[in-house]
Amino acid sequence: MLLIYGLIGDVHSNYDALKAVMDELRGEHVDKILCTGDIIGYAAEPMPCIEVISELKCTVVAGNHDYAAVGKFPASYFHADARNAIVWTAQQLSDDYVEFLKNLPLVEEFEDITLVHASLNRPEFFDYITTGADAQLTFDILNTRICFYGHTHVPLAIFLEGGNIRVDRGGSFDVSNADKVLINIGSVGQPRDWDIRASCAIYDAKKKVVQIRRVKYNIHDAVDKIYKAGLPQINAMRLMG
Residues 116-171 pLDDT 10s: 999 999 999 999 999 999 999 999 999 999 999 999 999 999 999 989 999 999 89
Rounded to whole angstroms, the Cα distance separating 119 from 117 reads 7
Q: How confident is the model at residue 42 (pLDDT cuts 50, 70, 90)?
A: very high
Residues 61-92 pLDDT 10s: 999 999 999 999 999 999 999 999 999 999 99
Give pLDDT, residue 170. 86
Residues 169-218 pLDDT 10s: 989 999 999 999 999 999 999 999 999 999 999 999 999 999 999 999 99
Total structural domains within the chain: 1
Amino acid at 192: R
Kind of pairing between the strands at 107-110 and 59-60: unpaired
Helices 219-229 and 15-27: crossing angle in degrees, nearest 10, is: 150
Give the mean model confidence (pLDDT) for residues 15-29.
Answer: 96
Report the CATH number at residue 125: 3.60.21.10
Strand order from edge to edge, sheet including 209-215: 59-60, 32-35, 4-8, 198-204, 209-215, 172-174
The range of the structural domain enclosing residue 189 comes to 4-240
Question: Is a pLDDT exceeding 80 seen at residue 2?
Answer: no
Rounded to whole angstroms, the Cα distance separating 68 from 38 reads 10
Give pLDDT, residue 1. 60
pTM, whole model, 2 decimals?
0.96
Count how many Cα atoms sit within 13 Å of the Cα of residue 159 in the half-sphere of its side chain.
15
